[in-house]
A and B are shown apart, each in its own frame.
Chain A
């Protein structure tokens, strides 16, 4: 049953990793502005879109 020491160590380590990730995210300012990123992610890059369209047209021509 001394495996319980190993298991506990692992579980605590995993918990500490998540804890550290949280602290790091606060430090990097992820919680300063919780709103704008949710809008930003919906913006499409129009230039990329155009080239995609061209690619699509090309590929449809070859097909």
Chain B
């Protein structure tokens, strides 16, 4: 079969041939022509068929004409020049960057465009006189890069990215290097003449360098320690802050009274290493969002049919009860409404997880979140957007509580005991020296606090969890932050959604029920299906396609009902039960019925298929976790599910979004839950659970708010991800023991009153670096033992959405 030169999809019908190149549809051909006219054919040389098939949707970007929306989206608008940053989820390879940065050759009014690949954004500067924002969006959509503009982009003001950590790292690193240089001479020779001469100058210079470190770079630790103490809670920041303060005061005291060179080298080094750890822990996935709510799914505006003004575009938060709205094909219904006219085929998969279309007739109620497939509808709003059935879920308290505050991290649990032990040792040894040699008492007390500063402990968790975060990311499991891994390790119950989570969203299992069809009829059937564009026909055709292609005498398609084909007097009818003239007994199942002539033959039943390895995964997980399945589906699927598992798994059906949320909340009283779900219907349960994992077949499309996003093909490795998160706990504990050894050596020097700055300066970095090496090696070894597999996406490339390619994969093939 031919593949399209532009988008790489297989050409199902007769390919469009242009200049000896084949295209799957007119859309791809048109895009090719646009590129050719503007001399951009080099696009195809960068990567074989890098394009996306573009689907024309007139009126999709009409809302961009509203001045208030423009005002929110535009970053700069003066003197006819506008600057806008658009999110384009299709950006996936180097050709995309190249094309989007060459937009000025497609349209003269585009002055400049710059792609931010990790965030999948493009910033475009253009002249508004010749090109409006709407036209720009349409131009992008025409070449296959439709911008995704959601309510969230529109309502959230630009959040300045936090650069504070970079500045602090810079300050600490700068001071650390210089202080090391200045303190080096005193490590070896203290009696040398010239050194004696200049040491006061050197010491005050070091003091000056340490000031910005203590008062700027380390301020987060003081704030965290203060907050901890205020809520009567000893976190790990308390001994760190205590250490920093003691280091600074003791060193200043030393140089003022000319007692020694002070510990400025250890002080700046400590802060620098701590900040490096904090930087490492922050692995962010700029192209993913973990905070989405229904606003990301809903359109920004809808078409309202006014009483006298005709059609107008309004923002959805301005919809009032009683407004008449126009819903086009593929548009999401934003409010609960009554259907006034048109034939509704509504896809509620966002809301219920149930993928079959629901038919509605005029006078029926339609709910917010459903997507219309087919013709144009006219509806009358019953409520405003925020009061609709689905959107009310977000006013639930589950979306407001902060999961990390209710969970004590490994480090903080240790920090509490640690602080008490250190203070006890310091006081006891000070008391001892007060008795023997009171001049040493203060020296020893501060030395203990300095040497016991838990630098290594504070580094163990960031490096262990940071490494695990990176390993997870490599295998398609994108975790929001390192706290989530700690919570994962504590989980004891796993709750699964069914539709879209355990089953695939694409790729059905098809089986035939009924009389056998003859060879000739099968050829006729496959050729009839070939002419149909209905998704079920396409799937069925893909199953039967190995038949020879023949031109049929007559094809009649009745949209929404079925298709009939005639060849040499024989007729075959394919479609719904009523279309083929057969009583429908089992309307719950999705089926395509066939009749040859007037004889009913049988039906093809479509069943969603379970993801690969689900059964094996459940068997492995059963050993350690309690498993539960919550489904929005009818209980008719129960027997199929039970066949999949050789043991009893509690299953609940007909679960509405708030039922799932309530189930999780109740179960949380005696266990820690991980919820694995996909759609908006799971959003409440994902937010309420200790760890909410959203599963998706395409990383680029929307996922509800969650703690982690798992690419669907890696679901079978969930047990390994959980094992690694549990291993994190033992690795961190092992490194605590290791750092405890260092600390006891240091404490020996401190308690006996022999702590020299040089010893502190050696011990501190040594323990920190060995902890970093130790945790990195341990995590690496554990992940090797678990044998993670890199899984390629098994489903074929979706047509209009972004390709489910792993990040950066195709960027290695940049032409040199």
Contacts and interface: CB of A to CB of B under 8 A. Distances in A.
Interface in B115-158: 115-119
Contacts of B167: 23, 26
A1 B116 CA distance: 53
Interface in B170-211: 170-171, 174, 177-178, 181, 194, 197-198, 201, 205
Contacts of B98: 43
A1 B197 contact: yes
Interface string B71-97: 000000000000000000000001001
Given A4-B198, A19-B174, A42-B814, A35 B166 contact: no
B121 to A, nearest CB: 9
Interface in B1-56: 39, 42
A8 B117 contact: no
B174 A35 contact: no
Given A31-B166, A42-B814, A36 B177 contact: no
Given A22-B170, A46-B39, A5 B201 contact: yes
A15 B178 contact: yes
Contacts, number: 62
A34 B163 CA distance: 14
B548 interface: no
A33 B163 contact: no
Interface residues of A, number: 25
A16 to B, nearest CB: 8
A58 interface: no
Given A27-B163, A46-B42, A8 B205 contact: yes
Contacts of B814: 39, 42
A11 B182 CA distance: 11
B811 interface: yes
A48 interface: no
Contacts of B402: none
A26 B811 contact: no
B551 interface: no
Contacts of B815: 42
B397 interface: no
A4 B97 CA distance: 53
Contact of A26 (B94, B97, B114, B166): B166
B636 interface: no
What DSSP secondary structure best describes chain B's contact surface? Answer: helix
Contacts of B118: 33-36
A6 interface: no
B97 A39 contact: yes
Contacts of A12: 178, 205
**Interface size bracket, B side:** 20 to 34
Contacts of A34: 118
Contacts of B405: none
A18 to B, nearest CB: 8
B116 A19 contact: no
A61 B83 CA distance: 47
Contacts of B178: 12, 15
B323 interface: no
Given A8-B205, A40-B101, A42-B816, A26 B116 contact: no
B161 interface: yes
Contacts of A11: 181
A23 B748 CA distance: 41
B116 A36 contact: yes
A12 to B, nearest CB: 7
Nearest to A42: B814
Nearest to B816: A42
A14 B171 CA distance: 15
A36 B115 contact: yes
Nearest to B114: A36
A19 B168 CA distance: 11
B228 to A, nearest CB: 29
A32 B161 contact: yes
Nearest to B116: A33
B163 A40 contact: no
A34 B97 CA distance: 14
Contact of A35 (B117, B177, B816): B117
Contacts of A46: 39, 42
Contacts of A19: 170-171, 174
Given A22-B170, A26-B167, A36 B97 contact: yes
Nearest to B164: A26
Contact of A36 (B117, B181, B205): B117
A39 B205 contact: no
A21 B364 CA distance: 66
A31 B163 contact: yes
A43 to B, nearest CB: 6
A41 to B, nearest CB: 10
A36 to B, nearest CB: 4
B119 A40 contact: no
Q: Which one of A33, A34, A36 has the greatest number of beta carbons of chain B within 10 Å?
A: A36
B525 to A, nearest CB: 48
Contacts of A5: 201
A23 B170 CA distance: 7
Nearest to A27: B163
A15 B174 contact: yes
Nearest to A36: B117
Given A15-B177, A46-B42, A39 B116 contact: no
Nearest to A15: B178
A11 B174 CA distance: 12
Contacts of A27: 163
Contacts of B177: 15
Interface string A32-60: 11111001101100110000000000000
Nearest to B94: A39
Contacts of A39: 94, 97, 117, 811, 814
A36 B197 CA distance: 53
Given A23-B170, A39-B814, A46-B39, A33 B117 contact: yes
B320 to A, nearest CB: 41
A10 B372 CA distance: 71
Nearest to A46: B42
A49 to B, nearest CB: 10
A5 B551 CA distance: 94
Contacts of B115: 36, 40
Interface string B94-110: 10011001000000000
A47 B42 CA distance: 11
Given A26-B167, A33-B116, A36-B116, 10 more contacts: A12-B178, A22-B174, A26-B163, A31-B163, A33-B117, A33-B119, A35-B118, A39-B97, A42-B814, A46-B39
24 contacts: A1-B194, A1-B197, A1-B198, A8-B201, A15-B177, A15-B178, A19-B171, A22-B170, A22-B174, A26-B163, A26-B166, A32-B161, A33-B116, A35-B808, A36-B117, A39-B94, A39-B97, A39-B811, A39-B814, A42-B94, A42-B814, A42-B816, A43-B98, A46-B39
**The 7 nearest A-B residue pairs measured at CB:** A36-B117, A26-B166, A33-B116, A19-B174, A22-B170, A35-B118, A35-B117
